[in-house]
Chains A and B, each alone.
Chain A
Amino acid sequence: MINIAFFIIAALTLGSALAAATNPKLMHAALSFAIAFVGVSTLFFWLGAEFVGLVQIFVYIGAVAVLIVFTILLTRREGEQLRGFNWSGVVVALAVFAGLVWSILKSPSMSILPPEVSPLTVKRIGEVLMSDYVWPLMGVGVLLTVALLGALILAMEDKRE
């Protein structure tokens, strides 16, 4: 039952990711990207990392997907068709996939079952973030502030012209 759920989630995620990578209609591809990321966060839920799954939905569906559809709208031009597709990318991607699968199948230490652990609470994540990882956390805070300002300056209209 749980395994069936996993395979449904995985098929949905990979299918919509493939649609996002190959669909020539830009808006449909962007929306399938959103579905793929919902699938990824469901996978996090399935693995017991609820907090990361929620953060994933929050950041990707609530912010990044909306940004992407807005950027598509802002950079759309009538009559311009961007149907270009580079087929050599398929070959490279398939080769990388074959190599990864081969190396996963070759390593017997990977075919293990998950151990029984107590569920990870949000409180525990908060404690760890505020004690062991407090400097990376501050670094991420600074990074996000800088990214916010940088994005604003980059996207701002030039007033002089």
Chain B
Amino acid sequence: MTLSILLMVSSALFCIGLLAALSRRHAIFILIGIEMMLAAANINFIAFWRYNAQPQPTGVIVAIFAIAIAAAEAAVGLALIIAIYRHYRTTNVDQLDRLKG
């Protein structure tokens, strides 16, 4: 199993996340797309750590930090979506075009 196959899997996951973030109109699924892209990046970090024989587990540490930050981002993002829904009564990002509060 070479590294390039793993990288292809992670880039496929990244592009699926990009597809979700670009094509979906529902705000939650844009967030899900971003989470998928972060997960693809994590796969890359872990893969590069595994295929590179160095003692320091830097890739693993970066992946752990990325997961923590992604969790914080998801919590704030979902709270924002709920706040927006309460105000505008929609979660469709195309309809959120008013600058006035």
Contact = CB atoms under 8 A, between A and B. Distances in A.
A binds B: yes
Interface of A: 2-3, 6, 10, 13-14, 17-18, 20-22, 26, 29-30, 33, 36-37, 40, 43-44, 47-49, 51-52, 55-56, 59-60, 63-64, 67-68, 71-72, 74-75, 77, 80, 82, 84-90, 92-94, 96-97, 100-101, 104-105, 107, 110-117, 120, 124-125, 128-129, 132-133, 136, 140, 143-144, 146-148, 150-152, 154-155
A30 B72 CA distance: 18
Given A113-B51, A150-B79, 7 more contacts: A3-B1, A10-B9, A20-B32, A21-B29, A125-B60, A133-B61, A155-B82
Interface size class of B (residues with CB under 8 A): 35 or more
B96 interface: no
Given A110-B2, A111-B3, A125-B60, A89 B23 contact: yes
Contacts of A74: 82, 85
A55 B81 CA distance: 25
A63 B20 CA distance: 21
A82 B13 contact: no
A104 B50 CA distance: 17
A86 B9 contact: no
Contacts, number: 239
B11 A154 contact: no
A64 B69 CA distance: 12
Contact of A40 (B1, B4, B13, B79): B13
Nearest to B26: A82
Contact of A59 (B36, B67, B83): B67
A68 B16 contact: no
Contacts of A52: 42, 46, 60, 63-64, 67
A4 to B, nearest CB: 11
Nearest to B7: A104
A37 B1 contact: no
Contacts of A75: 28, 81-82, 85, 91
20 contacts: A21-B16, A36-B36, A44-B46, A48-B50, A52-B42, A60-B67, A67-B75, A67-B78, A74-B85, A84-B25, A89-B22, A114-B1, A128-B56, A128-B57, A132-B56, A136-B65, A140-B69, A147-B76, A148-B75, A155-B82
